[in-house]
Structure 1
Amino acid sequence: MTGTIAVIRGFGPVFAILFGLQFISMGAMEMSGPFWPLRIEELSSSGGIFALAGIGVYVGPMLGVSLTSSLWGRMGDRYGNRLMMVRALAGLAITQILVSFAQDVWLILLLRFLQGCCAGYIAPAQAYGIQITGGRNRGVLLTWLQVATNVGSLGGAFLGGLILDASSFTTINLAAGFICAVCAIAAWAILPRPVAVVVAQAQAQAQAQAQASRTDRALVRQDHVAKGRATAPVWSLLTLMGMMLASRMVLQVPFALYMVEVFRAPHWVTGFSYGLLALGFVVAAPLWAQFFNDRSASFILGWMILIAGGCALLTSLAGLTRSIEYFAVIYLLWGSLLGGTTPILVALISAATADGRQGSVLGTAQSWQQIASVAGIAIGAGTTQIFGLASVFPLVSLLYAVSLFTAVGLWLCARPRLPVGDSL
């Protein structure tokens, strides 16, 4: 952990600004996250509309992000990732304020889709961080930015529950919109423009330090080509990341309904329990990042097998318990395992990509995450409608078991070396 703290200090004050902006803005957006089904149920005139809109309210912004993230990533590579961050925050602010006044289900769905199209903040923030640091310790950097998102999720969900108990859903969205507007102004005023010369020098230094590793990898690549094996498993990593994320997102729509039906929980308990997943992630993710830093792909994928198995076991137990205390502990442990999944796999993908294409590849990764999230949400909502709320946790466990076998296949075919840290 001491080494991780030293690395973070080495990133400088810009990292603290990035972390704060991501924490605050993503927390603001997550204030309404677990409570959308309650709002949609309130506005729906029939069970069929509720079933469709309950999925669409989550799927809409994800579809918007998946359709535009690659475009915004290329725009960031061309015009600057800082500008794309400001654009995304402004888009979130405007659409969140508009959706707070919407009283029609279909208008809400349209605005949520437009919100996704205008958003795409995380990918340019990651690319900007890599650009500022010259690609040093990208695994740790990307993990801590993901930690910021999950810290925001923890605080945002809990705060949203408190606001909903005391006021209204409209208040939640208005507050989130104004917070994102303040973040957009702060990003424009505080974040420095990357100086081309400084960035070029940092990149040149990183490239010089990694030249020997590149040469070794080129020899390994040639050997693998001769053997007919994959040499750049970016799409394989995207697939595994998407499967594990889809497994997690199955619970997005039914979670609040499950908490009410099974535990009779008030809103603040629902928000708190929802945030425990993020808390586990926050606590464990930096430890996973340090543990995996400079490790080979085969080593990491071997651990992905164990993590997927652990997630399958924990979600099975969560579906069996009727104790809110045990459920909360299980959710916390599940979140701690998730800290070793998405940010680590994204770091592998980033490390396998040239510096000048970071915005593009991270945008593609974000699009892929949104597609996986849409699939998970659709599967979860459909299963709930057909088999009831009792089926959701067994389904999640089954999907994690599928991810486990996928990780086994990738581990068997993995390249001997693909470091997470400064190797590229």
Structure 2
Amino acid sequence: MTDLSTRLTVRRLLVLQFVSMGAMEMSGPFWPLYLKGLAPSEQAFQIASIGAYVGPMLGIMLTSTFWGRIGDRHGNKPMMIRALLGLCATQLLIAVSNDVWVIVALRFLQGACAGYLAPAQAYGVQIESPERRAQLFAHLQIATNLGSLFGAILGGLILDRAPFPLINVTAGLLCAACAAAAWLGLPIPPAKPPQAIGPSKADKHPSGAAVPVAGLLVLLGLLLMARMLTQVPFSLYIREIYGAAPWVTGLCYGLVALGFVISASHWTRALSGKPLDAILRWLLLVIAGCALATIAIGLTRTLSVMVGLFLAWGILLGATTPVVMSVISAATSMNRQGYVLGLSQSTQQFSSVSGIFLGALLSDMAGLSSIFFFVCAFYLLSLVVAAALWRRELKCRPGLSALDTL
């Protein structure tokens, strides 16, 4: 492939990422609102609400390795098309289902049959040069979050004017269109010679010091748990505290993604090339900012203030998981990248599931109005772990004081 054709293919891949993620996130904030009207009891509603979010994650966790092996044998493009068709089929089946347990089962099947993101990333790596991989992943992440933003807003607008199943029908049709576009518009990537699969210079960590990968994985997990605590109670919280329309819920849900989009690349550039101790020090400040933002969300009862705080929270999130993942990747030798990044993915899925369960449990036990105080508590716990990693790094580098990292 020429450089021009590669750039065009990458742009098509980014558009597909944006549209498919938007389709998947259209129903994201609104499952509790829909399931509450279908559930036969409060207990069934609580279980179904958790299952609607956890089901796809469990499906991905259990089948991603299998689909990855199939993709290695038959190519990533067919796996992308298969995943999009699986999303289309399950969305349409959900649209015609009115039993909460059937919907939860279909949500699990949606994750098990789909798994679009991994083959899309692998396809991008196949067509992109090693020197541009970091930029590729950054752009894919931005496309993902922009899709989440516009998908949530579109879902809210649909729900304001039509029943919830129309969201699933729309999402299913978008996924079918993406599958057709991938089939017609994405070329089969050429086989790369062995020398093109080696590490790039960007893979080397600037400090050259041993990096506590296990500690960073713990920090990554805590940060994701803090973020996912609000997944189930989010729409119920906005409705109970503010009595807002569904489109406002979608806007708030999407503003976190928007903040991430507008800040992630800036954070990456600002921290690029800095030693680990400096990165950890900045993470301390960012995590402290997340704690302040979320406790302020929990305290305020002014809608405009809350909207601004959600955007600020998203901006700070742009410097959390992407930065931690980049440090983990840079600290890992090329022959262990697959294992360590796979372990990171497992950590993220486990932490997301745990956060969803805890969020539903805590909001049920302590009330919806308290959920953001628990989010703040998890950020404070993350702050303790980040501080311990920072102090460890200072001790591992004799003669370096805390002032040297300013």
Are the structure 2 counterparts of residues 409 and 87 from structure 1 closer, same or farther at C-alpha, using a change threshold of 3 Å?
farther
Q: 1:405 aligns with which of 367, 381, 384?
A: 384
Q: Match of 2:131, SS?
A: coil
How many residues align? The count is 393
Cα-to-partner distance string for 1:89-130 (whole Å, 9 max, x where unaligned): 222111111111111010011010111112222223223323
CA distance in 1, matches of 2:133, 2:275: 15
Q: 1:288 aligns with which of 242, 263, 267?
A: 267
Displacement of 1:247: 0.4
Displacement of 1:43: 0.2
Matched-pair contact (CA < 8 Å) for 1:315–1:393: yes
Residue 278 (structure 1) aligns with:
257
Cα-to-partner distance string for 1:79-98 (whole Å, 9 max, x where unaligned): 43333322222221111111
Q: Does 1:162 align with 2:157?
A: yes
Residue 93 (structure 1) aligns with:
88
The aligned runs of 1:223-234 (5 Å cut-off) are 231=210, 233-234=212-213
Q: Does 1:239 align with 2:233?
A: no
Displacement of 1:193: 2.4
Displacement of 1:353: 4.8
CA distance in 1, matches of 2:365, 2:386: 30
CA distance in 2, matches of 1:9, 1:287: 26
Are the structure 2 counterparts of residues 318 and 340 from structure 1 closer, same or farther at C-alpha, using a change threshold of 3 Å?
same
Q: Does 1:301 align with 2:280?
A: yes
Q: Does 1:388 align with 2:367?
A: yes
Cα-to-partner distance string for 1:364-393 (whole Å, 9 max, x where unaligned): 433322211111111111011111011101
Q: Does 1:68 align with 2:63?
A: yes
Displacement of 1:357: 6.8
Residue 400 (structure 2) aligns with:
none
Q: Match of 1:322, SS?
A: coil
Residue 244 (structure 2) aligns with:
265
Please give the root-mean-square deviation of Cα atoms over the aligned residues, in Å. Answer: 2.7
Residue 136 (structure 2) aligns with:
141
Q: Does 1:12 align with 2:7?
A: yes
Say which is worse superposed, 272-281 or 237-246, in terms of deviation.
237-246
Residue 124 (structure 1) aligns with:
119
Matched-pair contact (CA < 8 Å) for 2:202–2:330: no
Q: 1:328 aligns with which of 286, 307, 311?
A: 307
The aligned runs of 1:149-188 (5 Å cut-off) are 149-188=144-183
CA distance in 2, matches of 1:75, 1:409: 41
Amino acid paired to 1:402:
L
Displacement of 1:210: 7.3
Q: Match of 1:196, SS?
A: coil
Matched-pair contact (CA < 8 Å) for 1:96–1:174: yes
Are the structure 2 counterparts of residues 94 and 55 from structure 1 closer, same or farther at C-alpha, using a change threshold of 3 Å?
same
Are the structure 2 counterparts of residues 78 and 363 from structure 1 closer, same or farther at C-alpha, using a change threshold of 3 Å?
farther
Displacement of 1:141: 2.5
Matched-pair contact (CA < 8 Å) for 1:64–1:116: yes
CA distance in 2, matches of 1:241, 1:184: 33
Are the structure 2 counterparts of residues 343 and 139 from structure 1 closer, same or farther at C-alpha, using a change threshold of 3 Å?
farther
Displacement of 1:343: 2.4
The aligned runs of 1:310-329 (5 Å cut-off) are 310-329=289-308
TM-score by length of 1: 0.85
Residue 26 (structure 1) aligns with:
21
Any stretches of 5+ residues in structure 2 without a counterpart?
398-406
Cα-to-partner distance string for 1:5-61 (whole Å, 9 max, x where unaligned): xxx999722321221111100111111000000111010111111111111111111
Q: Match of 2:115, SS?
A: coil
Say which is worse superposed, 135-144 or 367-376, in terms of deviation.
135-144
CA distance in 2, matches of 1:163, 1:351: 43
CA distance in 1, matches of 2:216, 2:228: 18
Any stretches of 5+ residues in structure 1 without a counterpart?
1-7, 222-230, 417-424
Amino acid paired to 1:172:
I
Identical positions, percent: 50
Displacement of 1:272: 1.0
Cα-to-partner distance string for 1:273-310 (whole Å, 9 max, x where unaligned): 11111111111112112223344433322222211111
Say which is worse superposed, 187-196 or 382-391, in terms of deviation.
187-196
Cα-to-partner distance string for 1:166-188 (whole Å, 9 max, x where unaligned): 11111100110111121122223
Q: 1:203 aligns with which of 197, 214, 220?
A: 197
Displacement of 1:356: 7.0
Amino acid paired to 1:345:
V
CA distance in 2, matches of 1:140, 1:83: 24
Residue 234 (structure 2) aligns with:
255
Matched-pair contact (CA < 8 Å) for 2:131–2:202: no
Q: Does 1:39 align with 2:34?
A: yes
Say which is worse superposed, 340-349 or 157-166, in terms of deviation.
340-349
Runs of 4+ in 1 over 4 A off after TM superposition: 8-11, 352-364
Q: 2:45 aligns with which of 32, 45, 50?
A: 50
Q: 2:77 aligns with which of 52, 59, 82?
A: 82
Are the structure 2 counterparts of residues 400 and 139 from structure 1 closer, same or farther at C-alpha, using a change threshold of 3 Å?
farther
